[in-house]
A and B are shown apart, each in its own frame.
Chain A
Amino acid sequence: DVKVTQSSRYLVKRTGEKVFLECVQDMDHENMFWYRQDPGLGLRLIYFSYDVKMKEKGDIPEGYSVSREKKERFSLILESASTNQTSMYLCASSSRDRFLTDTQYFGPGTRLTVL
């Protein structure tokens, strides 16, 4: 069964703190993604990775960085948290399926509040 886990379901941090969000998948997937989801704005891609130590910027990378040291783990880092980074953060992973398509599977999400 497909399994993507995220380190926390809820997190409260203060402005200026460094925040680490971790994502782990147990499906041996090559690709991993970080999105944020906000009301009225839908899903927005922050960063993605298609291999260990590889990363690509998504649509809104500013204020974020990522790390992928192992295939199963993809971390999102907020270098200096700000209130406009209060959001639901979603991790996903994907790999080729029988259609030769990449189907993304999501984790449960982390609701981050920055005070």
Chain B
Amino acid sequence: DAKTTQPTSMDCAEGRAANLPCNHSTISGNEYVYWYRQIHSQGPQYIIHGLKNNETNEMASLIITEDRKSSTLILPHATLRDTAVYYCIAHRGSWGKLQFGAGTQVVVTP
């Protein structure tokens, strides 16, 4: 799986949109961009994934640049419960192990 780079941490005000960037400049054509998050001491939670088109679900939106070298996860209205470590992963989407990097620690403040 291609390496991804994320900021170590970011703060967000409650009620505002949180925009989480991820660089994956060496992503290959058959790798998807996946996002997971992990709240302290809990299992990772799947958020969203996509290949090249922008995607939206009930949790978030995923914007992937045209060259697919970077992406942004958008949490439209951050709440305190969104405080977590967010992981961006480039993964072929075939069954096999996931590899999480260090992720971004997001802290949502009142």
Contacts and interface: CB of A to CB of B under 8 A. Distances in A.
Contacts of A92: 98
Contact residue range for chain B? Answer: 20 to 34
Q: Is the interface of B mostly helix, strand, loop or mixed?
A: loop
Interface residues of A, number: 28
Q: Is the interface of A mostly helix, strand, loop or mixed?
A: strand
Interface stretch (A11-19, A68-76, A95-103): A95-103
B49 A111 contact: no
Given A31-B95, A102-B95, A42 B101 contact: yes
Contact of B41 (A45, A58, A109): A109
Nearest to A104: B98
18 contacts: A33-B97, A35-B97, A35-B98, A42-B101, A43-B98, A48-B97, A88-B41, A94-B95, A99-B49, A99-B51, A100-B93, A101-B93, A101-B94, A102-B93, A102-B95, A106-B43, A106-B45, A106-B46
